[in-house]
Structure 1
Amino acid sequence: MSFHQKGEQFSQKVQTARQRAAALEQRIVDSPKQDPELLAVSLEELKTALEELHVAEEELRQQNESLLAARSALESERQRYQDLFDLAPDGYLVTDGAGMIREANQAAAQLLGVAHTYLVGKPLIIFVPEDTRRAFRSQLTHLPKLGLLQEWEVRLKSRQGNLFDAALTVASVRDKPGQGSSLRWMLRDITARKQAEEKIRCYHLQNLHLQEEVRLKSQFLALMSHELRTPMNAILGFSQLLMRQAQHQLGHNQLHMLERIFNSGKHLLKLIEDILDFSKLEAGRLELNLEEFNLVELVTQTVEELQSLAHQKQLEVHIHVCLDNPYVVNDSNRLRQVLVNLLSNAIKFTDSGSITVDACEPTPDQIAIAVKDTGIGIEQSEIKQIFQEFRQVSQSLTRTYGGTGLGLAITDRLVGMMHGKIQVESQPGEGSTFRLELPRKVTSSSNTSAIVSK
């Protein structure tokens, strides 16, 4: 029951009591004699009327208490919402339909750089730069029809003249009949976000430029490597033919120089082939030629091909094979390339001792090959970067041992194409162990580009 209805009931009870009192008074006046019985009845009615008044009075007191409690709760709720409005982290404004500010919280005053008392009663458009006021005013006229406009990005200017980017959310609210509409504004400073977006856009453009540069570099390397490999093959072929035909006709020094030409040519051709392979890997144009072959024969033949390099440095090369099933499905040429890279590095960086090649099968569906040397070893801080392209453990080693720094990068990507992984364990002065694990059967190379671009 509402307070209004309770008030009407109380008024009715008071009126009833008055009517009874008036009737009692009239009966006493009209009675010519003081009838004791009439007096008793009158007193009883008066008592009843007084009791009803006491009940009505109690009800009125309770109503007053309820009304005060409701008023207090309403005031607390109003204060709570006022505090939320004033202390909100975002700026809040209430304007009329023309943008005249009626209310503003502290955040809005801080954003616009003015005191709260100055802000109320001012048009919001004075905080818009002059060159954009026309567009702002045009949008302002459409706001009552839109009802709600979210994330309207505009440039605002504080009273001190500082420009900042703001995101406005505006809601049109219908006021009391005949009073039109008012606008509720939320202002948020998005200058930091806009600056971050601009940086991201610049980074994106830079990334596109870098990708284009990488594409052009890869295309250039592939083209130059191909063009250089053709004359290098001719140089190697003719120099090898000269060594065979003129072995007994040339002096020792001349034959030695011819051999140096041939060996240098082979070294240069190896560098060119590394660059060509790497450019193909980067472009995702290298695919596996899968076939079944005997892994033991491949390891043995590869070691025999490099025995001459090991003998030149008086190094021993050992092979340990423990395979129940030597047959695997893979690209034999690319696996041979991986083994050649690992063995060549082992020989290059080992001055004394031996090199060991182990092949085993940790599980029936997996094979593992380890190349262990007793060479110079690798610092722990350098291990993470040895598989990066154009990197060697130090510039001094590059000058001493030569190379492009692509061998291990190509090896790592080829192993990735084969759905395997390669790991290295090393200590300075104690040698290195490169261990690669591969599936016994590589089923597909369709995701080559995704793997090698890691």
Structure 2
Amino acid sequence: MQTQVESLYNDARQYPNSHSQRLVVTLEELRLAIEELHVAEEELITQNEQLIAAQQLAEVERQRYQQLFEFAPDGYLVTDLNGIVQEANRAAETLLNIQQKFLIGKPLVTYVAQTERANFRALLSQIRSARRVQGCELMVQQRRGEAITAEITVETFSDASGAPVGLRWQIRDISDRKKAEAALAQLQAQNLEMLEADRLRTQFLATVSHELKTPMTAILGFSQVLMGQFNCNQDPRATKMAERIFHNGQHLLSLIENMLNFSRLRANQVELQLETFDLLELINTTIDELQPLVDQKAIALETDLPDEPLMITNDRNRLRQIITNLWSNAIKFTDSGRVTVRVKTLPANRLSLVVQDTGCGISDEDQAYIFQEFWQVHNARSMAQGTGLGLAIVHALVKTMQGSITVESELGRGSQFKVELPQTVKPSRMSFALKS
């Protein structure tokens, strides 16, 4: 058509009369109109291509969101405002134990536990005004299955005019979470009961120990008086009986002291009383105190100490308690051979104290628990001679002194306890450091 108009336009221009001139004008207008039509056609083609591309993109997005909906891990459903199911994904099918095609058209309330249906209907009423409700818990009844605890989020969606036309539901099975929460709550309750039982045990030990210490001190005092009188009267049999009372009383008093120390540690009532003193002097004094125990056995007590005084800053009484406990244990469990005590200085202003014996030794199994409170090595001798608190108290005191304690042992060959401490201990209050 464009070509035909151009031909007529050229022919009309060859005739200069008025009729031809009007025809030329008309043809010119027609030619311009046709050009505009071509431009409009091209624009329409371009817009159509853009529309097709947009439709294809929209279809891709629709399919993508449909797949996200279909394969989401939570149950997703679409219902009308009355809760009639219109769409459901695979997770909803699994959660409710019913095929998707049988869900469509069914009231969602059908799959709510009978006892929860009033709450569900209240939720439907609430969502009409709230537009979104999140984190609501309901019991969902599976088809031919058990009821499960579900967390529900629901919101409305609207048409183009903004009027709500339906509801989107997210249903999440939280049965495992609720079981875990219940188990955790039970554990917490049991933990509180254990803490209370531990508090009562500590209080009981402290009370009993205090009540026992006073009469035991009196028994020791009177037994010493009796030993003096029997010695004067030269009555060996009576003297021996009084000595037995005295030594057994001392043993019992040491057990009472252990229980008192344990209760103080439990109550965080032990504060280091620091002073500067010669460690070697303390060790030699302790050796003299323990010599009677050594003399009762066919063992030797050997020392490997520095030649010069070793001045340290520590709690003298608490350190003596550590040394006495380790040595008395070594002597108690060694029937022949020797008990060796070694002290040496270490870099970084530290020192080591080693107590080694040739006694019965400790099994690998027992070594893992040796510093736990009330733990005793599995042999008849240890069960009969202690409370299982001594090494636990030693461990706690060493930790408070910013030190460490380790054990190496072999059954039938003996044990070695090694304590490492700073030569100058910093002020510290006992935090509960008993190993459990």
TM over 0.5: yes
Residue 225 (1) aligns with residue 219 (2): no
Partner of 1:335: 319
Aligned twin of 1:209: 193
* Distance in structure 2 (CA, Å) of the matches to 1:23 and 1:145: 72
Q: Distance in 1 between matches of 2:166 and 2:423?
A: 75
Structure 2 residue 126 is matched with structure 1 residue 133: no
8 Å Cα contact 1:20-1:45 kept in structure 2: no
Cross-structure match for 1:169: 153
| Map 1:52-71 → 2, pairs under 5 A | 64-71=48-55
Q: 1:324 to 1:58 in 2, by over 3 A?
A: farther
Answer yes or no: is the 8 Å Cα contact 1:20–1:49 preserved in 2. Answer: no
What residue number does 1:263 align with? Answer: 247
1:399-418 aligned within 5 A: 399=383, 402-418=385-401
Moved more, 292-301 or 49-58: 49-58
Structure 1 distance, partners of 2:62, 2:72, is 15
Please say which of residues 353-362 and 140-149 is displaced more in the overlay.
140-149
Matches within 5 A, 1:380-399: 380-399=364-383
Q: Which range moves more in the overlay, 344-353 or 254-263?
A: 254-263
In the superposition, relative to structure 1, how do residues 132 and 45 fare at CA in structure 2: closer, same or farther (>3 Å)? closer
Aligned counterpart, 2:421: 438
- What CA deviation, in whole Å up to 9, does each residue of 1:333-371 have, x standing for no partner? 111000000000111111222222112221353222111
Post-superposition Cα deviations, 1:232-274, rounded to whole Å, max 9, x if no partner, equal 1111111111011111436433322222222111111111211
Q: 1:252 aligns with which of 224, 233, 236?
A: 236
1:49-108 C-alpha deviation (Å, 9 max, x unpaired): 999988877776665554444333322221111111011111111223333322211111
2:168 is the counterpart of 1:184: yes
Take 1:325 and 1:118, find their aligned partners in 2: how far apart are those partners? 93
1:63-212 equivalences under 5 Å are 64-177=48-161, 179-212=163-196
Whether 1:360 and 2:344 are equivalent positions in the alignment is yes
Which of the numbers 285, 296, 299 marks the counterpart of 2:283? 299
Measured after TM superposition, the shift of residue 380 of structure 1 is 2.2
Q: Note if contact 2:82-2:124 (Cα within 8 Å) is conserved in structure 1.
A: yes
Structure 2 counterpart of 1:320, which letter? D
Give me the whole-angstrom Cα distance separating, in 2, the residues matched to 1:317 and 1:332. Answer: 22
Cα deviations by residue, 1:359-416 (Å, 9 ceiling, x for unpaired): 22213532221111122222223211111122222143435x6211211111111111
User: Shift of the alpha carbon at 1:118?
Assistant: 2.1
Residue 431 of structure 2: aligned partner: 449
Q: Percent same amino acid at aligned positions?
A: 46
Alpha-carbon spacing, 1:50–1:136, altered in 2? closer, same or farther (3 Å) = closer
For residues 114-156 of structure 1, the C-alpha deviation after alignment (integer angstroms, 9 at most, x for no partner) is 2212222222222222323223322332224334333222222
SS in 2 for 1:159: coil
CA distance in 2, matches of 1:56, 1:314: 120
Kindly indicate whether the alpha-carbon contact (under 8 Å) linking 1:323 and 1:361 is maintained by their aligned counterparts in 2. Answer: no
SS at match of 2:346: strand
TM-aligned CA distance change 1:364 to 1:304, over 3 Å: farther
Q: Does the C-alpha gap of structure 1 residues 100 and 24 become closer, same or farther in structure 2, counting only changes over 3 Å?
A: farther
* Counterpart selection for 2:258 from 270, 274, 282: 274
Structure 1 residues 128 and 22, CA gap change in structure 2 (3 angstroms): farther
Unaligned runs of 5+ in 1: 1-16, 32-41
Could you say which residue in structure 2 is the equivalent of 1:429? 412
Q: CA deviation at 1:453?
A: 6.9
Cα pair distance change 1:304/1:153, threshold 3 Å:
same
CA deviations on 1:279-305 (whole Å, 9 max, x unpaired) are 221222222222222211111111111
Q: Which residue of 2 aligns with 1:317?
A: 301
Q: State the secondary structure of the residue aligned to 1:425.
A: strand
- In structure 2, what residue type is equivalent to 1:451? A
150-159 vs 48-57, greater mean Cα deviation: 48-57
**286-295 vs 267-276, which deviates more?**
286-295
Q: C-alpha separation between the residues in 1 aligned to 2:263 and 2:6?
A: 116
Q: 56-65 or 403-412, which moves further after superposition?
A: 56-65
Distance in 2, matches of 1:426 and 1:305, equals: 26
| CA positional deviation for 1:182 | 2.8
| CA distance in 2 between partners of 1:255 and 1:360 (Å) | 43
Question: 298-307 or 373-382: which moved more?
Answer: 373-382
Asked if 2 retains the 8 angstrom alpha-carbon contact of 1:323 and 1:360, the reply is no
Report the more deviating stretch, 262-271 or 63-72. Answer: 63-72
Equivalent-residue separation in structure 2 for 1:144 and 1:298 (angstroms): 84
1:427 is matched by which residue type in structure 2?
Answer: E
Unaligned 5+ runs, structure 2: 16-25
The 8 Å contact of residues 323 and 359 in structure 1, kept in 2 or not, is answered as no
CA distance in 2, matches of 1:306, 1:147: 83
1:238 aligns with 2:222: yes
Task: Tell me: CA distance 1:260–1:178, structure 2 relative to 1, closer, same or farther (3 Å).
Answer: closer
Report the CA distance shift for 1:397/1:140 in structure 2 as closer, same or farther (over 3 A).
Answer: farther
- The farther-off stretch of 172-181 and 436-445 is 172-181
Amino acid corresponding to residue 399 of structure 2 in structure 1: G
User: Across the two proteins, how many residue pairs are aligned to each other?
Assistant: 430
Q: Shift of residue 194 of structure 1?
A: 0.2
